[in-house]
Chains A and B, each alone.
Chain A
Amino acid sequence: MLKTVNQRVSLVLLLIAIFYLIFAYKMPSFPYVIVDADLIPKVLGYLLIFLAVLLFFTKNDETDEQKAKRNIPKKEIGMLFGVGGFILLYIMFLEILGFVLVTALFIYFCSWFLGYKNHIANALVSILLPVSLYLMFTELLKMNLPSGILPF
């Protein structure tokens, strides 16, 4: 049944559209306007269903180059999740450890993880960049970035 890529994508889109529509129908109504808040979302939901159905029956017209993009080796998928994980850690610890420390650690380890071997250059950038950015934001632009556990 679900042989082509388009058919699989179409199914995912249908699910999104249904999810969206359920919430559009649950919206409370507001008595004093002619067009209520739920009209446009409902139109969009049905439009997406319609387009998803169209996509289901459309032949895949992607070029080979576009198809090739999806052939990612297992190891590379690991790399992507690795970088995603680093970003997640960055966000989680940003307000706890502070901007300077987290950014320094992120730049150093993320670059290393991605294969940057020049450790001296890496360390220099990892320290200088966050410190100068931090000073620029807090001192010149008067915008407070999280200071975290460092004393300044």
Chain B
Amino acid sequence: MKKYLLALVVLLALILAACGDNGADDEAVEADAEATETESSDATESESSETASDWEPEEAIEFIAPAGAGGGWDTTARMAAQVFSEEGIIDQPIGVVNMEGGGGAEAWAHVAGFEGNPYKIFVSSPPIIFVPLNGQSEYGHEDFTPLANIIADYAAFAVRADAKWDSITELFEDMKEDPESITVVGASSPGSMDHMQFVQIAKAAGVDITKIRYVSAQDGGGMTQLLNGSVDVYSTGVAETVEQVRAGNIKVLGITSEERLEGEVLEDFPTVKEQGIDETFVNWRGFFGPPNMPPEAVAYYETKFKELSDSDAFAEIRSQFGWDEFYMNSEEYSKFLDEQKEVLAELMDELGLGN
């Protein structure tokens, strides 16, 4: 008798922990409730339910983040799920599931097996184009049902504050003359985002893209290597550069958005476009469903994601993470994705990376 009681001591501790947890949870929820009360007075809750199509979810919805906790996909999925529930946009519970593996490939293979299922939704971004092009996934965006895009992020190319280049054109001029003297660092492997966003812009500027020297460094290594002078250029997202720019350690030579961004510091970043390179790169992020999702369900999610994108609560989250608003409905999204894939496939072929 005594033996298994002892075995359960561990459990007891866990239950104790549960109480601790709950305490925090309750308070947080309470505080949240207060916050939303003041905000949601002008929210547009009632309109949508009538304009929405005749399909309604009848069970819990699953949001899949095809990566581990804490990354961009995970954050987007969790934030969207939170706003959906707290603002009462979707009544059914939404569970966020992390499915890490193969840079997304494992989750895509998983979702592809749920043909027509309107309850399995995953978040994605440009890797769903890169990864299949690199031959690392048999599924690409065309195998799924794009529901809606919601946010956009842009690439930034940074150099040390004391570097000799003051504009992206100066950098590219040097790269045209002696491409081997300049090293670019990014977090992803060649043929994926940080590499290809640089390649795409450099190509438009007339640099020989087969000669670009690119180093991949994980775990914050990119910024470290830029700051300590190991490499010359850091290809990353806009948000990652802001603090170091403010501290005067680095400068951003160019960002890849159509127009300048808004906000303190951000507004000072010149676009590559205004510097005479007619090219943009969008790190878009949106949601997809399994293959052949019923059109009524697609219409339902389209309206719901539009509502999400327009809500004040989500606007606040966007500004917190430095994301840009970028809504596209299912049809626009599919077309956009097809165009993106074409452009990138061509670049990859030129680099000899395409499979």
Contact = CB atoms under 8 A, between A and B. Distances in A.
Interface of A: 30-32, 118, 121, 124-125, 128-129, 132, 136, 140, 142, 144
16 contacts: A31-B352, A32-B190, A32-B210, A32-B214, A32-B351, A118-B3, A121-B1, A125-B4, A128-B11, A129-B8, A129-B11, A132-B15, A140-B17, A140-B22, A142-B95, A142-B96
Interface of B: 1, 3-4, 7-8, 11, 14-15, 17-18, 21-22, 95-97, 190, 210, 212-214, 351-352
Contacts, number: 35
Given A128-B8, A142-B95, A30 B15 contact: no
Given A31-B352, A125-B4, A144 B95 contact: yes
Contacts of B4: 118, 121, 124-125
A57 to B, nearest CB: 41
A136 B210 contact: no
Given A32-B190, A32-B214, A125 B21 contact: no
Contacts of B18: 136, 140
A125 B352 contact: no
B97 A144 contact: yes
B311 to A, nearest CB: 23
Contacts of A129: 8, 11
Given A30-B190, A124-B4, A132 B210 contact: no
A137 to B, nearest CB: 10
A94 to B, nearest CB: 15
Contact of B11 (A121, A132, A140): A132
A132 B210 CA distance: 57
Contact of B7 (A30, A125, A144): A125
B21 A140 contact: yes
A100 B18 CA distance: 19
A94 B33 CA distance: 38
A75 to B, nearest CB: 26
A66 to B, nearest CB: 33
A31 B8 CA distance: 58
Ranked nearest first, the 3 interchain pairs of A and B with the lowest CB-CB distance are A121-B4, A125-B4, A140-B18
Nearest to B20: A140
Nearest to B216: A33
Given A125-B4, A136-B18, A142-B96, 15 more contacts: A30-B190, A31-B210, A32-B210, A32-B213, A32-B351, A118-B3, A121-B3, A124-B4, A125-B8, A128-B11, A136-B14, A140-B21, A142-B95, A144-B95, A144-B97
A140 B96 CA distance: 14
A30 to B, nearest CB: 7
A30 B11 CA distance: 52
A149 B260 CA distance: 54
